[in-house]
Structure formats: C-alpha cells, structure tokens
Amino acid sequence: MTQPAFKLKKNVKALLDEAAAKTQGISAEAAQAKLGDANTLFVDIRDVRELERDGMIPGAFHAPRGMLEFWVDPESKYYKPVFVPGKTYILYCAADWRATLAAGVLAEMGMDRILHLEGGFDEWKKAGRPVGERPHKPKA
C-alpha cells in the first residue's frame, strides 16, 4: 500500500465514529417490523443507479444523499413536505456508511427520531427481506 501524499485532519473513520456516537442504528429485523407503519418513513439515500440496479425497500422514499439536507430543511427552496416532525425516519444506503453520516448531519440540524439501517440495504437483501422496484414517475 502506498503512503498518502498528505494527512487529513479527520479521516472517514473518524467522521463515521462521530456520526455513530450521535445517532442510533436499527437492525434489519426491527426495521422490517416498522414497514407499513404510518409514522415511519424509510429513506433511501443511494444513487438512482443503485436503485435501478438493486431495487429498494418497498414504500421507501428516495432522497439522494446530495440533496438530503436541502430536502429536510423547511427554509430551503428544495424542501420536501414528506419530512415533517413526529415521524421516525430510517435512512439507508448500501452498507450503512452514507446513512450513518447522513443521520449524523440530520441530528446536527435538530431532527430527532432519525435511525440508520445497520448493515444497509446489502444486509437487508442478504437476509431475504422484501425488495421492490424503484417507482417511476409517470411521463407527462
């Protein structure tokens, strides 16, 4: 392995550790029990190509990682009204790294009841849990 050309003040592991310390994970088994619960929203933060290739948790809302903070913030012109107080949000990505980081940021923004799916969508699928196709918007 080559030595890096520079050293960062904080590496990815440190960022993940910090985010994990201020957030809570949920097991795939416990998360599956929340499928269909009107007060819980699964939020898929993966890239659209991952959704096309691998499917997604049925009923999940797709919020790309790059837009999540903008969609959550009611003062943003990009706000999505699906993000309201009082709901539990279960964020997931492929392996739970992006979801952990995203949950940490949302916690910093003041959102509560934010969970991240431990092991991510990969673990969800490996355990044989339900997977659906990405819903497509109707063409105008």
Structural domain contains residue 7: no
> In sequence order, which residues have a C-beta less than 8 Å from that of residue 36 and are 6 or more positions away?
59
Cα separation, 109 vs 136, in Å, equals 30
Strands 24-26 and 40-44: unpaired
Structural domain contains residue 72: yes
Residues in the chain: 140
Whole-number pLDDT of residue 53: 93
Whole-number pLDDT of residue 8: 87
Structural domain contains residue 48: yes
Low-confidence ranges of the chain (pLDDT < 50): none
Structural domain contains residue 131: no
Q: State pTM to two decimals.
A: 0.91
Whole-number pLDDT of residue 52: 92
| Structural domain span for residue 32 | 22-126
CATH number (domain holding residue 121): 3.40.250.10
Q: What is the count of structural domains for the chain?
A: 1
Query: Measuring CA to CA, which residue among 35, 70, 73 is closest to residue 56?
Result: 35
Please give the single-letter amino acid code of residue 100.
Answer: T
Structural domain contains residue 38: yes
